[in-house]
Amino acid sequence: MSDKQKKIFDNLSRRHLLGGMAALGGAALAGAELAGPALIGRARAKTPGTLVFGLSSYPPGIKPWENKGTASNTVKLQVFRGLLGYGPDGRLQPELAESWEIPDARTYIIKLRDNAYFHNGDPVTAEDVKVSLEAIAAEDSTAHLRSRFGIVESIEVFDPKTVKITLKEPQVTFIYLLASVHSHIVSAKELAKDPDNFVGAGPYRMVEVERGTRMELEAFDRYYKEGLPKTKNLRFDAYKDENLRVAALEAGDVDVIEYVPWQSMDAIGANEKLNLDVVDGPFMYLLFNTEAGPFTDPRLRQAVAYAVQRQDVIAAAFFGRGNLLGAMPIPKGSEFYEPKFEGHWKRDLEKAKALMAEAGYPNGFQATLLSTAQYGMHKDTAEVVQQNLADAGIQVKLNLPDWATRVSLGNRGQYDFAVMGSAGDFNDPDALTNFLDGSRGNSYVRSLGFADQEINALLAEGRQELDPAKRKAIYDRVHTRALELAPIVPINWRAQGYATQAHVSGFKNMPGFLTFYSGYTIENTAVE
C-alpha cells in the first residue's frame, strides 16, 4: 500500500466508513482515536442475543495486516480470518484452510474450504490467498509481518481451492505466520476495486460504529463453521480506565473484559457472579547495552541476574499475581519446555559479587536503568531492581521518561540496561528469536549489539528441523548458551486476565503467549 493510499485509509470519515460497511458487509475501521469516556449504564449486558465485550481501549484501526494492539486484534479476529488459527487449547486449527501439507520445510500446500465466503458473498479462493499474502510481503507494505514474509519465494494457484507456497529456504515455523492475527485473507476482487477496502470472512460483520467508544457487529450468516458464532450480536465498548472497566463488569454492563487489573483479581475471583480466567502470558525482563558501558561483559549481566529478587517484583508491580521466571521464557504448556532450566537464576548475592570481582569490579559499579513512569508495572519493576542491585553493590540511576521516549531511547541504544515487558508471537521456542537474534537489527525489545553466532545458527537450525525431538534438543542448546551469555535477564511471568459474567460460557483465555489471541474464542461464547 502506498503512502498516499495509507493516508486516505487512515483519514476515512465516519460517514464513508459506515457507508462502506453497509455496501460491502464489513470494511475495516481505521484512523480512530483511543478510548473516550466509559459507557457504564449505556446498556445492560444481558440484552437477549447480545454479547458485550469491554475493551481496554478503542482500537486505533483494524487493518487486517497491521499491529495496533490487543484491543484491535480482538476486533480484527471477528471481522477477518486467516488460513489457520488456534483453538481454545492453543493448538493450530484450520480456518479458511480445510487442510495443509508440509512435504518438506520449504513447501506448504494449502487446501481451502468449500464453504468459506467473504462478507460480500463471494467464495474464498486460492487467488484471494495469493493476492493477500503477496500484499503483506510487498516492498511498500505497512504489514506487521512484511519482513517475515520476505522468506516467500513464490505463491502458486493450482486450482480455485489449492495454493502452494514455496519458501526461499526451509522454515518449519512459517506455519505459525499463516496462523497469525496479522495475516488475514481478504477479497482480492474488492481490493482491486479499492486498495483501501478490506473485506474479510470472519464470524461477524461490522454494522455500526460510534467512534472512540463503541462498535456493533452481527453474526455473518454464511460463516464456515456450522452453528457459530453462538451469539447473534456482538458489541465492543471501550473502557480506557481500568477501574471503570472493572466497575462496568461488576455492574453487569459488560459480559467480558480484557486486561483485568492485577489489584482487582482477588475481588473478581471471590465474586460468585463473575469468573476470572488468568494465564501466565507476557513476561518482564531486563535487556542490556552490549556495545558500550559495563554490560559489554556477560559476567556483569549474570551478576544482575543473580542479584534480582524476582518475588519482590511480583509483589510490588503485580500485586502478587505472576510467577518467577529464572530461565528463558518458554511457556510450560509447550512441548519444548525443559524443567531442568527452571530457576537457574535465583537470588544469590554471593555469586553476584563473585562475578563482579572476576570482571574487575570488586567494589561494585554504577549503571543507568531505563524504564518508564507512564506504566506502573514498568516503574515499579525498575524501582525494585534498583533496590535489589544496591544490595550487591550496584548503584542504579533510574531514567523514567514517557513510553514514547523510552521506546525511542531503546531503539537508539541510549541506556546501560532497561526494563521491558513482552510476549512471543507464538508458543513455539522460535519466538525467542525476537529477543536473542541481534541480526534482526536494533529494537527496544532486544539488547543493543548482542549477536552470538552460535545462538543465531541454532535458532536457524531449529526453524529448519521437522522432527520435534530433534528441535527440542536444538532449543535446549539455545537455552544453555543463553544462560551462559545472559543476553536478557528474565524476571517474571506476568499474569494476564480476562473476566466474564457467570452467565457467560465458552470464552477462554488462551495459554501462554497466545493469551492475546483469545478473541478467537468469542465465536464460541454464549450469553445464557
Domain limits, CATH 3.10.105.10, in the chain: 282-494
**Any idea what DSSP says for residue 150?**
G
pTM for the full predicted model: 0.86
Residue 254 reports pLDDT greater than 90: yes
- pLDDT classification of 20: cutoffs 50, 70, 90: very low
Q: Which CATH number describes the domain made up of 84-193?
A: 3.90.76.10
Which SS3 state, helix, strand or coil, does residue 387 take?
Answer: helix
Lowest mean pLDDT among 77-81, 141-145, 255-259, 318-322: 141-145
**Nine cell digits for residue 136:** 503483506
**Nine cell digits for residue 62:** 483494524
β-pair type (504-505, 526-527): antiparallel
Mean pLDDT of 214-232: 97
Peptide bond into 229 cis (omega under 30): yes
Q: What is the tens place of the pLDDT at every residue in 359-379?
A: 999 999 999 999 999 989 999
Phi, psi (deg, nearest 5) at residue 319: 55, 35
Domain limits, CATH 3.40.190.10, in the chain: 3-79+197-276+496-527
Does residue 493 contact residue 313 with C-beta atoms inside 8 Å? no
Residue 36 reports pLDDT greater than 80: no
Number of H helices, E strands in the chain: 16, 19
Residue 29: predicted pLDDT = 37
Separation between Cα atoms, residue 135 and residue 139, nearest integer Å: 9
Residue 136 reports pLDDT greater than 90: yes
Residue 280 reports pLDDT greater than 80: yes
Q: Is the dihedral of CA 252, 253, 255, 256 positive or negative?
A: negative
Separation between Cα atoms, residue 134 and residue 119, nearest integer Å: 21
**Nine cell digits for residue 196:** 483501501
Residue 27 reports pLDDT greater than 80: no
Q: What is the tens place of the pLDDT at every residue in 50-86?
A: 999 999 999 988 999 998 889 999 999 999 999 999 9
Element (H, E) at 379: helix 376-390
Question: Amino acid letter at 388?
Answer: N
Separation between Cα atoms, residue 237 and residue 209, nearest integer Å: 10
Separation between Cα atoms, residue 34 and residue 219, nearest integer Å: 25
Which SS3 state, helix, strand or coil, does residue 10 take?
Answer: helix
- pLDDT classification of 128: cutoffs 50, 70, 90: very high
Closest CA to 246 of 272, 264, 271: 264
**Nine cell digits for residue 209:** 460504529
The percentage of residues in the chain with a pLDDT greater than 70, rounded to a whole number, is: 91
More confident site: 343 or 39: 343
What are the helix (H) ranges across 141-270?
174-178, 188-193, 242-251, 265-270
Q: What is the tens place of the pLDDT at every residue in 493-508?
A: 999 999 999 999 999 9
Separation between Cα atoms, residue 507 and residue 500, nearest integer Å: 8
**Nine cell digits for residue 434:** 525476537
Mean pLDDT of 383-411: 96
Residue 46: predicted pLDDT = 60
Provide the β-strand partners of residue 227: none
Strand order in the sheet with 97-104: 97-104, 107-112, 162-167, 152-159
**Nine cell digits for residue 163:** 495454493
Find cell 520435534 and name the residue. 468
Find cell 463453521 and name the residue. 225
Q: What is the tens place of the pLDDT at every residue in 148-205?
A: 899 999 999 999 999 999 999 999 999 999 999 999 999 999 999 999 999 999 999 9
What is the 3-class SS of 14-82, one letter each residue? HHHHHHHHHHHCCCCCECCCCCCCCCCCCCCCCCCCEEEEEECCCCCECCCCCCCCHHHHHHHHHHCCC
Which SS3 state, helix, strand or coil, does residue 478 take?
Answer: helix
Angle at the Cα of 470 (from 464 to 474), degrees rounded to 5? 75
Separation between Cα atoms, residue 147 and residue 134, nearest integer Å: 12
Phi, psi (deg, nearest 5) at residue 245: -65, -45
Q: Which CATH number describes the domain made up of 282-494?
A: 3.10.105.10
Question: Mean pLDDT score of the chain, rounded to an integer?
Answer: 90
Separation between Cα atoms, residue 503 and residue 272, nearest integer Å: 11
First to last CA, the chain: 43
> What is the maximum alpha-carbon separation in the chain?
72
**Nine cell digits for residue 401:** 521518561
Residue 257: predicted pLDDT = 98
DSSP labels for 90-137?
S-EEESSEEEEEEEETTEEEEEE-SS-B-TTSPBP-HHHHHHHHHHHH
Separation between Cα atoms, residue 239 and residue 22, nearest integer Å: 26
Mean pLDDT of 461-472: 93
Residue 234's Cβ-count burial label (10 Å; 0-12, 13-18, 19+) is buried
β-pair type (233-238, 204-210): unpaired
The percentage of residues in the chain with a pLDDT greater than 90, rounded to a whole number, is: 84
Residue 23 reports pLDDT greater than 80: no
* Class in CATH terms, 3-79+197-276+496-527: alpha beta
Contacts for 305 with CB less than 8 Å, ≥ 6 apart: 345, 486, 489
Separation between Cα atoms, residue 39 and residue 29, nearest integer Å: 20
Closest CA to 401 of 382, 443, 373, 368: 373
Residue 66's Cβ-count burial label (10 Å; 0-12, 13-18, 19+) is buried
Closest CA to 387 of 298, 311, 296, 493: 311
Domain limits, CATH 3.90.76.10, in the chain: 84-193
Element (H, E) at 320: none
Residue 28: predicted pLDDT = 38
Residue 305 reports pLDDT greater than 80: yes
